[in-house]
């Protein structure tokens, strides 16, 4: 209890409403909340998208070295996929920051890749096997490719 708690002048004249709310909420214990399923999907995507970006970049590098006749088409499609992945990474990173979720580090144990995360004070690990990661990456890459094909078909 501070010296000013009993003084009524501080409530009405000297303290702005938002400052009073901050002062009162300061004494509350931090509310730890588990991530929702949507937030867990965002964490999964945040983990998978850098791997996808690396895979697409490797494919683009392979195509650049090949003497393929449709090389320019493949390069343009690959670049469009990379741009979409980069945009989604940026959007997810911003949304995680906005929701006060931090992904700290990864560790490998028994063929499972674990990522520690903090969600509004709640700490846990998010784990995926490499097979699950591969299948999720495959599913998401198919979605990106369908989206780009749909965009090109509509033009």
* pLDDT tens column, 124-134: 999 999 999 99
Task: Express each pLDDT in 70-111 by its tens digit.
Answer: 999 999 999 999 999 999 999 999 999 999 999 988 888 888
Q: How far is CA 122 from the centre of its chain?
A: 17
| DSSP secondary structure letter of residue 67 | -
Predicted TM-score (pTM) of this structure: 0.74
With a CB cutoff of 8 Å and minimum separation 6, the contacts of 123 are 116, 117
With a CB cutoff of 8 Å and minimum separation 6, the contacts of 59 are 78
Torsion sign over Cα 118, 120, 122, 128? negative
Residue 91 CB neighbours (<10 A): 12
Extract the tokens encoding 87: 């945009």
């Amino acid at each position: 209890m501070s010296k000013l708690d009993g003084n009524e002048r501080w409530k009405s004249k000297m303290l702005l409403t938002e400052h009073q709310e901050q002062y009162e909420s300061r004494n509350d214990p931090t509310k730890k909340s588990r991530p929702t399923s949507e937030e867990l999907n965002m964490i999964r995507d945040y983990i998978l998208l850098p791997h996808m970006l690396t895979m697409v970049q490797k494919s683009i590098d392979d195509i650049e070295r090949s003497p393929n006749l449709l090389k320019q088409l493949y390069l343009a499609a690959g670049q469009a996929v990379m741009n979409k992945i980069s945009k989604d990474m940026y959007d997810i990173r911003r949304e995680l920051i906005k929701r006060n979720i931090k992904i700290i580090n990864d560790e490998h144990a028994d063929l499972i890749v674990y990522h520690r995360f903090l969600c509004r004070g709640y700490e846990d690990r998010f784990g995926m096997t490499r097979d699950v990661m591969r299948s999720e990456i495959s599913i998401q890459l198919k979605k990106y490719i369908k989206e780009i094909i749909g965009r090109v078909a509509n033009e």
